[in-house]
């Protein structure tokens, strides 16, 4: 088992989720910690402490870290992580120095996409696109069984495709980004507006949030939709409609066999995915004359990121593992003997 266990760590703005993952994608142990601060050194300390705790019970081969942000193509440096205020942070080398283990760093959505391809909804699918719907939209691409990161490591930032010229202002600085119309922030925005306006549904949401408008989050809308509230169902269907439009654009560019929908908003299930499929079918270029990709929900839930990060780290460490020292010694001895015989001749 020495080469088969890796630690996967998913770093968020408020919490760090970690697990020991075996080669079959099973999580053998779990830990969660509050993200101490946005300061890189304190987060690195937390990662090192978590790893040390796991090593008391498990023989760990490598560490995989998933971070919400831009990670360079070498899978070593977090270029930009808005929730952690990290800029060009050499996370891989810093964690490796603290732990003495091989480390891989990747975008959290890339890690989740890899996990769904290896162990989840997209097994045996050559080309897939993962779309994660949370507060914003993240994404990952797998082409011919390999993660696609782009020239600079930043491929998959689908949430910032412009779908409405001069549309809603986005936190990225642009307007009309896809995540302003097809993400959890849409449900949150509408729910808080309803509470402020004093609609019947808004009053219900406000009461459930303890009377604080700013405490209302999109998951409350999902809960009411699942319970059959017509207004909540309509809001989620509108998000699904925008989701399908964006997927049709991605299909025109990438033509995968499958789109996998993950993230917290996907908890709405078919209330979200059915409208997305319908909008995709009516928006897809060449519709009626081409095969359509399947649109399915992710299988691995919120732990996909740490599972994928651990698996990528284990596979990378295995590829980089040096040859057996005794074998290398035998090769060098044979070479010296051969050179000696050549000189005697």
Output the pLDDT for position 60.
97
> Which ranges in the chain are annotated with CATH 3.30.420.40?
6-113+302-322, 124-298
Thinking of the domain 124-298, which architecture would CATH place it in?
2-Layer Sandwich (3.30)
Residue 140's pLDDT is what?
Answer: 97
Residue 3: what pLDDT? 58
Distance CA 109, CA 71 (A): 11
Query: How far, in Å, CA of 94 to CA of 36, rounded?
Result: 17
CA–CA–CA angle 311, 317, 322 (5° rounding): 155
Would you state the pLDDT for residue 323?
43
Assigned token pair, 8: 């996967």
The predicted pLDDT at position 326 comes to 44
CATH fold for domain 6-113+302-322: Nucleotidyltransferase; domain 5 (3.30.420)
Two tokens, residue 176: 């009309």
* Phi, psi angle pair for 190, to nearest 5°: -70, -40
Judged by DSSP in three states, 131 sits in strand
The two three-digit tokens of residue 205, written as one number: 């949401």
pLDDT at 300: 97
Q: What is the pLDDT along the chain (345 residues), one digit of tens a residue?
A: 445 899 999 998 788 999 999 999 999 999 999 887 778 889 999 999 999 999 999 999 999 999 988 999 999 999 988 777 789 999 999 999 999 999 999 999 999 999 999 999 999 899 999 999 998 999 999 999 999 999 999 999 999 999 999 999 998 889 999 999 999 999 999 999 999 999 999 999 999 999 999 999 999 999 999 999 999 999 999 999 999 999 999 999 999 999 999 999 999 999 999 999 999 999 999 999 999 999 999 999 999 999 999 999 999 998 765 444 443 344 344 434 444 444 444
* CA distances from residue 10 to 5, 42, 63, 64, 345 in whole angstroms, order as listed: 16, 15, 11, 9, 62
The half-sphere exposure of 217 on its side-chain side, counting CA atoms within 13 A, is 6
**Could you tell me the pTM of the whole model?**
0.87
Query: How far is the C-alpha of 197 from the C-alpha of 251, rounded, in Å?
Result: 39
């Amino acid at each position: 088992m020495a080469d088969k266990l890796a630690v996967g760590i998913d770093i968020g703005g408020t919490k760090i989720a970690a697990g020991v993952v075996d080669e079959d994608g099973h999580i053998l142990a779990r830990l969660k910690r509050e993200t101490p601060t946005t300061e890189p050194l304190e987060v690195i300390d937390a990662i090192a402490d978590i790893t040390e705790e796991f090593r008391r019970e498990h023989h760990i081969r490598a560490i995989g870290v998933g971070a919400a942000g831009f990670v360079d193509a070498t899978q070593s440096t977090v270029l930009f992580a808005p929730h952690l205020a990290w800029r060009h942070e050499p996370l891989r080398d810093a964690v490796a120095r603290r732990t003495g283990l091989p480390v891989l760093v990747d975008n959290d959505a890339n890690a989740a996409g890899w996990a769904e391809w290896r162990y989840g909804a997209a097994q045996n699918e050559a080309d897939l696109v993962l779309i994660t719907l949370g507060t914003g939209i993240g994404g990952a691409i797998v082409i011919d069984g390999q993660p696609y990161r782009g020239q600079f490591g930043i491929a998959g930032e689908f949430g910032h495709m412009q779908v409405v010229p001069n549309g809603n202002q986005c936190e990225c600085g642009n307007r009309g980004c896809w995540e302003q119309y097809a993400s959890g922030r849409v449900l949150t925005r509408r729910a808080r507006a309803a509470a402020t306006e004093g609609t019947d549904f808004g009053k219900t949401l406000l009461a459930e949030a303890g009377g604080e408008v700013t405490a209302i989050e999109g998951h409350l809308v999902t809960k009411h939709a699942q319970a059959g509230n017509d207004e909540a169902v309509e809001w989620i269907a509108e998000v699904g409609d925008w989701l399908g439009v964006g997927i049709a654009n991605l299909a025109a560019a990438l033509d995968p066999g499958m789109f996998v929908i993950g993230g917290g908003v996907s908890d709405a299930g078919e209330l979200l995915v059915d409208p997305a499929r319908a909008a995709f079918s009516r928006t897809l270029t060449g519709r009626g004359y081409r095969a359509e990709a399947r649109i399915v929900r992710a299988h691995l839930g919120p732990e996909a990121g740490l599972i994928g990060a651990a698996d990528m780290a284990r596979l990378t460490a295995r590829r980089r593992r040096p040859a057996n020292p005794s074998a290398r010694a035998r090769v060098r001895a044979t070479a010296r003997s051969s050179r000696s015989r050549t000189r005697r001749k």
